A and B are shown apart, each in its own frame.
Chain A
């Protein structure tokens, strides 16, 4: 029964040796710590402890596609407090010196205490240089109150690009609870735009320096000769697809309006420009943000913080007609011999649906050119709801495009199931479809979706994931990481795309076209006007376009709120932007070099 080896002398010896080894290891380590004086604790007689200084990394910079800096960092002055060293009786005096609310200081100390009484808590950041000297002189009467130099964002680009870049701000209590252990009260985080979506890449990693402090709270030197210190790692830089000049021009063309512009590169889905108006000055948030500034921006009835380009969902109006046309042509429901006679109105289910005029006999190409509603009312009834939804979905409607921003709305692409859900089964009739045929009613889309749709028509069905970041550059090593984006081919034949493109060409250049305002001498532009019916006020104007017609280099969507007919206001804006962009060299030499030569195999988890 007994194993011959059970409890043998050899095994007992091994057990005893393991015990001895474990204890010797501990003794050697204790010797090292307590007697060998590897750690310098200052003078023997003093009770030494440590203080932690947090070294903030530099947040990554942001560049446009041509390597122009858009966002960089400047030093700013921050007052911090170490709760353990601070005498609570001095709160009132300190509040007076810093011109802060006593309760605000107490609240900040309290949240800091929950982390550790020995870690600095930021009290007030971005102190103006003028106030600095006064504060510095008086600071000596307080124990545990210190200065820090912290980087803050400065916006140096020609364009504001506030909705693309987004802003940084002191972390909220809510974010502290959800964003993980890295963040501590007083940290700066990206709140919106690229600053938020690329937060972990931009922010870098904090560093730590340990100081030896005596019982009176005086620093007596580096703790352990700096061996425990951890260097900070600066954040990586973002190189955008944005063309700063085009972006600046888009912003200037939107001044005084409410609306958005999105321009895409039809070769890859790169966002060339994305503007939303009204915008805001992101530098308001980079240092200390006053309550008034925040309230003013937040409560502005024009919602300047709201990125209309990706969040505003409006009925696309007539710009949506190519969806229905593609469904009809691809499924061979009609061809360009099929015509409708437009008398200016359409009677269905006892209701009269209007057209912009009496267009006479039109085929599908002319119907797009002249934006004839009656043609599309009839076509919708032939194509049917299911196929309309299916083709809308192929062009990316009703779903997010996946742009690298957190702020994005999917819009609404109605389907029979959707109507069943909203109105109840059998509670809706085909009459509801008539509005959808011309892009009105429940269907809605963002300017970004419209631009991507235009891109996909212009390039024969290649739907690239729209994106703002071209590549990421590691600040320390200089290595370049290309971001990867998806693409898909829309299953629609080349012949159908030829017809859609031809119709859009005629919108701008044909005799009956509605988009003549987008004509540019020397450049062949194709486009489509649209008007979103607005029950609460003047209609919203849409214009989508791409150019040059043969080999498109830009696909653009312009949306102006309450501007009425799309051809009048939106089309000229699109024309100016196209003209500007196409007059630029195709791609700057440095960009070509970067794209070709560097780190093609590099990738990043995104």
Chain B
């Protein structure tokens, strides 16, 4: 037993995750302290403990279990996503919630994990060479399918997360950089177009140069440049001529919530005020005025980082970031240590999904990212989110335990 812990248990990873879980429960307690919602804290603790147990159970699964059942798990979650589109409950305007006998859950949180495993299994199978375009297309389809189902709920935030699954895994699997950039380019051009014509032109030119630098085959690079320039021009036409002013405005508000101070901008501004007022050391646990007066809406879910920023200050926020950073670095290390391609790709997928959540969630409270309703891992209140975070930790622990197996 002792040998197992010494040799196969990634104690460091586990302890970082436990620290984040404890932090999460403490912050949820503060966010709901004055609202009389003590059951939120109780439930959060229950989920954190259940999550840890689930993580440990997954760690002890046999060597090849995750890989062999990856497609099966993927199929089940896809079915659940289809099912909730038909029969789900509407919560805050979207049908992402599934309830059985009083226990609710959001399958889209688990679908992310299932998609990582399925894509990794697909790319690690013999003969699936990324030099062939069919493999790239099928990879995109594996990710695109649950992404579109999530988008249809409609849950824009969670659906964007799938981008953070596809690109890093393809990159890690060895896709040529020029193709990775080519796949990313349209997304970047769309965002650039929404911020203005000049940024769009700059972006398109930059991509053109990047293609020429990255690709050995000059004709191919020129073709790609031509395609991206045409795409940019089309977007310019689409955005300026085909979208009605109110649709343009909605996109503007999404990218810069500050222009809608009575809607999304209100949350964003209050979040910045709360974090900004924290100063170096913060106002102290349970002493944040913004938090305790509930100035920031939905503070125990999407805007929970404001509690950390206000009550623990810059120091507390940076310590929290260090916890997340070390968790992610540990994940990258595991991706390097494991011997199977499946485990390595999955580990990178988990790292990038967690990074995306952390960056966007914290970013939207400090005016760095649009307001996308995605949770802060381990910290935001929400059963499906917390449990799926722990499932990802469990998978990493499993990989570490089996790292020497082929």
Complex interface bits, B362-379 against A, C-beta within 8 A gives 1, otherwise 0: 110011100000000000
Residue numbers in B under 8 Å from A52 (CB-CB) = 261-262, 266
Residue numbers in A under 8 Å from B104 (CB-CB) = none
Q: Which of A10-18, A339-347, A449-457, A546-554 contacts B (4 or more CB under 8 A)?
A: A10-18
Residue numbers in B under 8 Å from A3 (CB-CB) = 129-130, 173-174
Please report which residues of chain A, range 104-126, place their CB below 8 angstroms from some CB of chain B when the two chains form the complex.
Answer: 115-116, 118-119
Among the listed B262, B270, B324, B355, which residue makes an inter-chain contact with A208, where contact means beta carbons less than 8 Å apart?
B262
Among the listed A35, A181, A208, which residue makes an inter-chain contact with B314, where contact means beta carbons less than 8 Å apart?
A35
Residue numbers in A under 8 Å from B244 (CB-CB) = 605
Residue numbers in B under 8 Å from A50 (CB-CB) = 269-270, 273
Flag whether B141 is at the interface (Cβ < 8 A).
no
Flag whether A25 is at the interface (Cβ < 8 A).
yes
Among the listed B127, B246, B289, which residue makes an inter-chain contact with A47, where contact means beta carbons less than 8 Å apart?
B289
Most chain-A Cβ atoms within 10 A of its Cβ — which of B262, B279, B329, B344? B262
In the assembly, what is the distance between CA of A31 and CA of B279, in Å? 9
Flag whether B351 is at the interface (Cβ < 8 A).
yes
In the assembly, what is the distance between CA of A2 and CA of B131, in Å? 11
Contact B359 A34 (CB under 8 A): no
In the assembly, what is the distance between CA of A208 and CA of B262, in Å? 9
Considering only CB atoms and an 8 Å cut-off, how many residues of chain B contact the other chain? 61
Residue numbers in B under 8 Å from A19 (CB-CB) = 325, 328-329, 332, 351, 355
Contact flag A35-B173 (CB < 8 Å), given A19-B329, A118-B295: no
Contact flag A7-B258 (CB < 8 Å), given A39-B273, A50-B269, A50-B270: no
Among the listed B275, B335, B348, which residue makes an inter-chain contact with A34, where contact means beta carbons less than 8 Å apart?
B275
Please report which residues of chain A, range 1-45, place their CB below 8 angstroms from some CB of chain B when the two chains form the complex.
Answer: 1-8, 11-12, 14-16, 18-20, 22-23, 25-27, 29-31, 33-35, 38-39, 41, 44
Contact B261 A34 (CB under 8 A): no
Of all chain B residues, the one with the shortest Cβ separation from A50 is B273
Contact A30 B245 (CB under 8 A): no
Residue numbers in B under 8 Å from A25 (CB-CB) = 359, 363, 368
Contact B276 A41 (CB under 8 A): yes
Contact flag A26-B295 (CB < 8 Å), given A34-B275, A47-B289, A49-B273: no
Of all chain A residues, the one with the shortest Cβ separation from B317 is A30
Please report which residues of chain B, range 74-131, place their CB below 8 angstroms from some CB of chain A when the two chains form the complex.
Answer: 126-127, 129-130
Residue numbers in B under 8 Å from A23 (CB-CB) = 321, 324-325
Flag whether B259 is at the interface (Cβ < 8 A).
yes
Contact flag A34-B278 (CB < 8 Å), given A22-B359, A228-B258: yes
In the assembly, what is the distance between CA of A180 and CA of B269, in Å? 22
Contact flag A29-B366 (CB < 8 Å), given A6-B341, A22-B355: yes
Among the listed A4, A47, A228, A230, which residue makes an inter-chain contact with B277, where contact means beta carbons less than 8 Å apart?
A47
In the assembly, what is the distance between CA of A328 and CA of B112, in Å? 74
Contact B262 A115 (CB under 8 A): yes
Contact flag A181-B325 (CB < 8 Å), given A41-B277, A50-B270: no
A216, chain B: closest CB distance, angstroms:
12
Contact flag A4-B174 (CB < 8 Å), given A16-B329, A19-B325, A26-B362: yes
Of all chain B residues, the one with the shortest Cβ separation from A84 is B293
In the assembly, what is the distance between CA of A228 and CA of B266, in Å? 11
Contact A12 B336 (CB under 8 A): yes
Residue numbers in B under 8 Å from A5 (CB-CB) = 174, 176
Flag whether B33 is at the interface (Cβ < 8 A).
no
Interface residues of chain A: helix, strand, loop or mixed (majority): mixed
Contact B126 A1 (CB under 8 A): yes
Flag whether A210 is at the interface (Cβ < 8 A).
yes
A600, chain B: closest CB distance, angstroms:
21
B82, chain A: closest CB distance, angstroms:
31
Contact A39 B272 (CB under 8 A): yes
Flag whether B254 is at the interface (Cβ < 8 A).
no
Contact B276 A39 (CB under 8 A): yes
Please report which residues of chain B, range 330-387, place their CB below 8 angstroms from some CB of chain A when the two chains form the complex.
Answer: 332, 335-336, 341, 344, 348, 351, 355, 358-359, 362-363, 366-368
Contact flag A48-B262 (CB < 8 Å), given A3-B174, A7-B335, A26-B363: no
Most chain-B Cβ atoms within 10 A of its Cβ — which of A18, A20, A26? A26
Flag whether B71 is at the interface (Cβ < 8 A).
no
Contact flag A605-B126 (CB < 8 Å), given A22-B359, A210-B269: no
Among the listed B171, B321, B359, which residue makes an inter-chain contact with A11, where contact means beta carbons less than 8 Å apart?
B171
Flag whether A184 is at the interface (Cβ < 8 A).
yes
Contact flag A49-B290 (CB < 8 Å), given A26-B362, A27-B318, A29-B366: yes
Contact flag A30-B309 (CB < 8 Å), given A41-B277, A49-B295: yes
Flag whether B263 is at the interface (Cβ < 8 A).
yes
Residue numbers in B under 8 Å from A38 (CB-CB) = 276
Of all chain B residues, the one with the shortest Cβ separation from A208 is B261
Flag whether A177 is at the interface (Cβ < 8 A).
no
B397, chain A: closest CB distance, angstroms:
20
Residue numbers in A under 8 Å from B127 (CB-CB) = 1
B383, chain A: closest CB distance, angstroms:
26
Of all chain A residues, the one with the shortest Cβ separation from B246 is A180
Residue numbers in B under 8 Å from A2 (CB-CB) = 174, 341
A264, chain B: closest CB distance, angstroms:
31
Of all chain A residues, the one with the shortest Cβ separation from B267 is A116
Flag whether A215 is at the interface (Cβ < 8 A).
yes
Flag whether B172 is at the interface (Cβ < 8 A).
yes
Contact A34 B317 (CB under 8 A): yes
A222, chain B: closest CB distance, angstroms:
13
Contact A31 B314 (CB under 8 A): yes
Of all chain A residues, the one with the shortest Cβ separation from B274 is A49
Contact B173 A6 (CB under 8 A): yes
Residue numbers in A under 8 Å from B208 (CB-CB) = none
Contact flag A34-B344 (CB < 8 Å), given A47-B277, A181-B263: no
Contact flag A119-B273 (CB < 8 Å), given A7-B335, A15-B332, A19-B328: no
B257, chain A: closest CB distance, angstroms:
11
Residue numbers in B under 8 Å from A44 (CB-CB) = 279
Contact flag A6-B172 (CB < 8 Å), given A19-B332, A27-B321, A50-B269: yes
Among the listed A4, A15, A33, which residue makes an inter-chain contact with B172, where contact means beta carbons less than 8 Å apart?
A15
Complex interface bits, A187-199 against B, C-beta within 8 A gives 1, otherwise 0: 0000000000000
In the assembly, what is the distance between CA of A343 and CA of B10, in Å? 113
Residue numbers in B under 8 Å from A16 (CB-CB) = 329, 332
Contact B368 A34 (CB under 8 A): no
Contact A49 B289 (CB under 8 A): yes
Contact B366 A33 (CB under 8 A): yes
Complex interface bits, B234-259 against A, C-beta within 8 A gives 1, otherwise 0: 00000000001110000000000011
Flag whether B313 is at the interface (Cβ < 8 A).
yes
Flag whether B19 is at the interface (Cβ < 8 A).
no
Contact B313 A34 (CB under 8 A): yes
Contact flag A49-B293 (CB < 8 Å), given A26-B363, A34-B276: yes
In the assembly, what is the distance between CA of A4 and CA of B295, in Å? 53
Residue numbers in A under 8 Å from B394 (CB-CB) = none
In the assembly, what is the distance between CA of A14 and CA of B181, in Å? 14
Flag whether B280 is at the interface (Cβ < 8 A).
yes
Flag whether B168 is at the interface (Cβ < 8 A).
yes
Of all chain B residues, the one with the shortest Cβ separation from A42 is B277
Contact flag A48-B273 (CB < 8 Å), given A22-B355, A25-B368: yes
Residue numbers in A under 8 Å from B266 (CB-CB) = 52, 116
Contact flag A12-B174 (CB < 8 Å), given A33-B276, A39-B272, A41-B276: no
CB-defined A-B contacts under 8 Å, sample of 22: A3-B129, A5-B174, A6-B173, A11-B172, A12-B335, A15-B172, A19-B325, A19-B329, A23-B325, A26-B321, A26-B363, A30-B317, A30-B318, A33-B275, A33-B366, A34-B275, A116-B262, A118-B295, A119-B262, A180-B246, A181-B263, A228-B269
Known pairs A19-B328, A19-B351, A23-B324; list 4 more (Cβ under 8 Å): A2-B174, A34-B309, A47-B289, A228-B261
Partner-B contacts on A (CB < 8 A): 1-8, 11-12, 14-16, 18-20, 22-23, 25-27, 29-31, 33-35, 38-39, 41, 44, 47-50, 52, 54, 115-116, 118-119, 180-181, 184, 208, 210, 215, 223, 228, 230, 605
The 4 closest A-B pairs by CB, nearest first: A3-B174, A47-B289, A5-B174, A6-B174
